[in-house]
Structure 1
């Protein structure tokens, strides 16, 4: 029994040493590499809440496909009528030197708008509190990551990471992120403005497994400076579904569902 106890202690020390060797970048890369299927589908309910409490609800359908280290996504608004048919297409590249491609289709104008790299970082998506960049997958090396500490949040052991964007054109000066160690999922992120004041706060909850993949079902982004909030509920999530690569094209974006 004494020998077994000593072996277990040695394993614990070894594991702790291995965990201590992780850098902020290592952890963020693990988050990006977390298994979530090669393709994904969900119906989305987006609720925009003004400081006064007035609410607007929007509904979407969303598809995503990983192609190597890159990701393509397309989503279409299905409700209400004034935004129905609006589509958003992104091609997210893992190569930090390659600018992501983003297009927004506006059916009322029958026009496709290409979102520039600068606009994607500072403009908000369809009146929400998420920027266009927030709606896509970022390359790990777009930011410099530092492991600040470990901390327990909502009963879960987390890594706390500070990420500073390398591009000074970003809307935030730094982001502090809490990442659950058991499932490698973000549960909170604080975004600071150029004056180093808290600007927006993201919280993610209702995390469980769907088809064997860790999945979040609810996220809220609040602009703490204006009091405006956006709540996103992910429903009917499916993984590794059959999807044609032709879905993620500008012609499909303009054709709609």
Structure 2
């Protein structure tokens, strides 16, 4: 069979692309994948309504409704949340500023209207205390610097029509509530669909599941999540609605003074 110039060009380009893909695949180590997840496009600003359902071991539930706003300022992220329902938590606000600099402590404030007092959440409390009776710690809310952990790509998997990277992340410091996380990251949208948290005894403690993943306004989004503490049998289910991206938000709203005034 004779090859003409076009055929030879096609073969040459195919070889180049094959080599490029092989190099690209080899370069996807654990840290690279973790950085891709952190850099997943989610707009410069974000707003949403949240319904949080707390479910105890016996199946009893408590429902809370929350309004959330977030803004990126360079590589840092500011987020403020206001509880709207029920009355016993209405007016409660939570403000967090996550710094990309891993050597700079994150700023977190919780305003309790019943006490008319703002509590600063810092240090060990941020990493070990649970947020408003949920199964999320204060530190779970917000972005984490990639280099706070050592990331290892364990394997790749395919299931339910999706391809995943299975990533192990171990904190470099021992002041976390967990010793490692194992995340199943969907390759198409860079969202961790499942995250397993292991306690100080390396026993499975909590499982986070992000489901109902949709593309909203050009951004991949999980519209519901469930965090279950498999040891206590308590779980927290959150559904998101009215999710909007790149909307106008007054940057002055991300202050303690505004937090204490409520939504």
TM-score range for the pair, normalised by the shorter chain length: over 0.9
Which of these two proteins has the greater Rg computed from alpha carbons?
2
Say which of 83, 88, 98 aligns to 1:92: 98
Q: Aligned residue for 1:223?
A: 229
Please report how far the alpha carbon of residue 154 of structure 1 lies from its aligned counterpart in structure 2 after TM superposition. Answer: 2.9
1:41 is the counterpart of 2:15: no
Mapping 1:57-68, distance limit 5 Å: 57-68=63-74
Please report how far the alpha carbon of residue 227 of structure 1 lies from its aligned counterpart in structure 2 after TM superposition. Answer: 0.7
Partners of 1:200 and 1:98 in 2: CA distance: 27
Cα deviations by residue, 1:145-198 (Å, 9 ceiling, x for unpaired): 111111113321111111001120100000001111111111010000011100
Partners of 2:108 and 2:95 in 1: CA distance: 6
Query: Does the residue aligned with 2:132 lie in a helix, a strand or coil?
Result: helix
Say which of 167, 178, 186 aligns to 2:184: 178
Partners of 1:158 and 1:13 in 2: CA distance: 22
Please report how far the alpha carbon of residue 11 of structure 1 lies from its aligned counterpart in structure 2 after TM superposition. Answer: 2.4
Partners of 1:207 and 1:12 in 2: CA distance: 31
Partners of 1:12 and 1:203 in 2: CA distance: 35
Extract structure 1 runs of 4+ deviating beyond 2 A: 1-14
What value does the CA root-mean-square deviation take over the aligned residues? 1.4
Listed as ranges, the gaps of 5+ residues in structure 1 are none
Please report how far the alpha carbon of residue 141 of structure 1 lies from its aligned counterpart in structure 2 after TM superposition. Answer: 1.1
Cα deviations by residue, 1:195-235 (Å, 9 ceiling, x for unpaired): 11000001101111111111110100000011111011111
Listed as ranges, the gaps of 5+ residues in structure 2 are none
1:51 is the counterpart of 2:26: no
Partners of 1:72 and 1:133 in 2: CA distance: 14
1:16 is the counterpart of 2:3: no
> How does the TM-score come out when normalised to structure 1?
0.96
Q: Aligned residue for 2:249?
A: 243
Partners of 2:172 and 2:229 in 1: CA distance: 23
Q: Aligned residue for 2:131?
A: 125
Partners of 1:17 and 1:38 in 2: CA distance: 32
Query: Does the residue aligned with 1:133 lie in a helix, a strand or coil?
Result: helix
Partners of 1:58 and 1:6 in 2: CA distance: 60
Cα deviations by residue, 1:31-52 (Å, 9 ceiling, x for unpaired): 1111110000000000001111
Partners of 2:30 and 2:150 in 1: CA distance: 8
Partners of 1:108 and 1:89 in 2: CA distance: 17
Say which of 210, 215, 229 aligns to 2:216: 210
Please report how far the alpha carbon of residue 7 of structure 1 lies from its aligned counterpart in structure 2 after TM superposition. Answer: 4.5
Q: Aligned residue for 1:73?
A: 79
Q: Aligned residue for 1:105?
A: 111
Query: Does the residue aligned with 2:201 lie in a helix, a strand or coil?
Result: coil
Partners of 1:218 and 1:12 in 2: CA distance: 38
Partners of 2:199 and 2:11 in 1: CA distance: 50
Aligned length: 257
